[in-house]
């Protein structure tokens, strides 16, 4: 089996560059529409490349969409795990989490928009890809939570449920920050406040949890 080349050879470096351009153009074109209405020619036109060139990189637009999922959630992955790892007193932890989400949205708004929009979007393959990634997040969060003193006698099942809850809340909050950034809905401070209070609500429920059924 041939491993990946150590010296990328400017041929495939160029190929990778075009691929990136296609991905970037696609992502930015998705600001005002959804993937299922994004045209192949639209993308190549934005990059300045012939339509036929597209097929050298992706089977179709949906395929590019799947690639974008890895792109978008890969970056978030690092933030979540490293952010959760650092532990501190409860209130601070909530503040830091919310601020981390806010910062990520500020830095990568298009990625967040893409994920949030296509999570329930019209392209099945992309929906599945996003779902799988978020499932992984939920697992990892549950893993971290398991080491907390509070959830000493929680069942794996309950922990998993809690992990899902946190991930869903994270996505919702990110989406709300995004809307705030583009002037729709409440402003960033208000979103942050709501998010913090919701997390406090969950945190309280967590402290008084008793496993049944």
Partner DNA sequence: GCAGTGGGCGCACAACTGTTTACTGAAGTA
Partner DNA sequence: TACTTCAGTAAACAGTTGTGCGCCCACTGC
CA distance 32 to 57: 24
189 binds its own copies (CB under 8 A): no
**Cα–Cα distance, 62 to 30 (Å, whole number):** 13
Binding mask 22-61 for DNA (x = CB under 7 A): -----------------xxxx-----xxxxxxxxxx--xx
Q: How far apart are CA 111 and CA 107, in angstroms?
A: 9
Alpha-carbon dihedral 51, 34, 61, 22, rounded to 10 degrees = 60
Question: What is the rounded distance in angstroms from the CA atom of residue 113 to the CA atom of residue 66?
Answer: 15
The Cα–Cα gap between 47 and 194 comes to: 40
Q: For the chain, what is the largest distance between any 2 Cα atoms, rounded to a whole number of angstroms?
A: 61
Chain positions 98 to 117 lying near its own copies, rule: CB under 8 A, are 116-117
Among 19, 77, 96, 206, binds its own copies (CB under 8 A): 206
In the complex with DNA, the residue whose CB is nearer, 57 or 160, is 57
- Least distance to its own copies, CB of residue 56, Å: 25
Calculate the CA 203 to chain-centre distance.
23
- Would you give the binding string for its own copies spanning residues 121-150, x where CB under 8 A is met? xx-x---x--x-------------------
**Binders of DNA: how many residues, by CB under 7 A?**
24
Q: Is 139 left (phi over 0), alpha (psi -120 to 50) or beta?
A: alpha
Q: How far is the CB of 128 from its own copies (least distance, A)?
A: 8
Contact 136, 128 (CB under 8 A): no
Among 175, 180, 181, 192, binds its own copies (CB under 8 A): 175
**All residues at 6 or more sequence positions from 107 whose CB lies less than 8 Å from its CB, including other chains:** none
**Of these partners, its own copies, DNA, none, which one is at the site of residue 53 (CB under 5 to 8 Å by kind)?**
DNA
CB of 189 to its own copies, least distance (A): 12
Q: Would you tell me which residues interact with DNA (CB under 7 A)?
A: 9-12, 14-15, 17-18, 39-42, 48-57, 60-61
Q: Would you tell me which residues interact with its own copies (CB under 8 A)?
A: 30, 32-34, 36-37, 116-117, 119-122, 124, 128, 131, 158, 161-162, 164-165, 168, 172, 175, 184-185, 193-194, 197-198, 200-209, 213
């Amino acid at each position: 089996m041939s491993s990946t080349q150590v010296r990328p050879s400017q041929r495939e470096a160029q190929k990778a560059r075009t691929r990136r351009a296609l991905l970037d153009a696609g992502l930015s074109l998705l600001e005002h529409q959804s993937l299922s209405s994004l045209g192949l020619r639209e993308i190549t036109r934005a990059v300045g490349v012939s339509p036929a060139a597209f097929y050298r990189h992706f089977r179709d637009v949906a395929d590019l969409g799947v690639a974008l999922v890895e792109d978008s959630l890969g970056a978030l992955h690092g933030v979540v795990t490293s952010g959760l790892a650092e532990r501190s007193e409860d209130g601070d932890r909530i503040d830091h989490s919310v601020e981390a989400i806010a910062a990520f949205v500020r830095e990568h708004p298009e990625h967040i928009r893409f994920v949030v929009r296509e999570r329930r979007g019209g392209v099945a393959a992309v929906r599945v890809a996003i779902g799988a990634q978020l499932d992984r997040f939920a697992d990892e969060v549950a893993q971290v939570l398991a080491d907390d003193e509070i959830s000493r006698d929680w069942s794996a099942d309950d922990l998993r449920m809690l992990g899902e809850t946190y991930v869903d809340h994270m996505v919702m909050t990110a989406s709300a920050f995004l809307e705030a950034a583009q002037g729709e809905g409440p402003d960033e401070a208000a979103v942050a406040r709501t998010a913090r209070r919701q997390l406090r609500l969950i945190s309280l429920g967590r402290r008084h949890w008793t496993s049944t059924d």
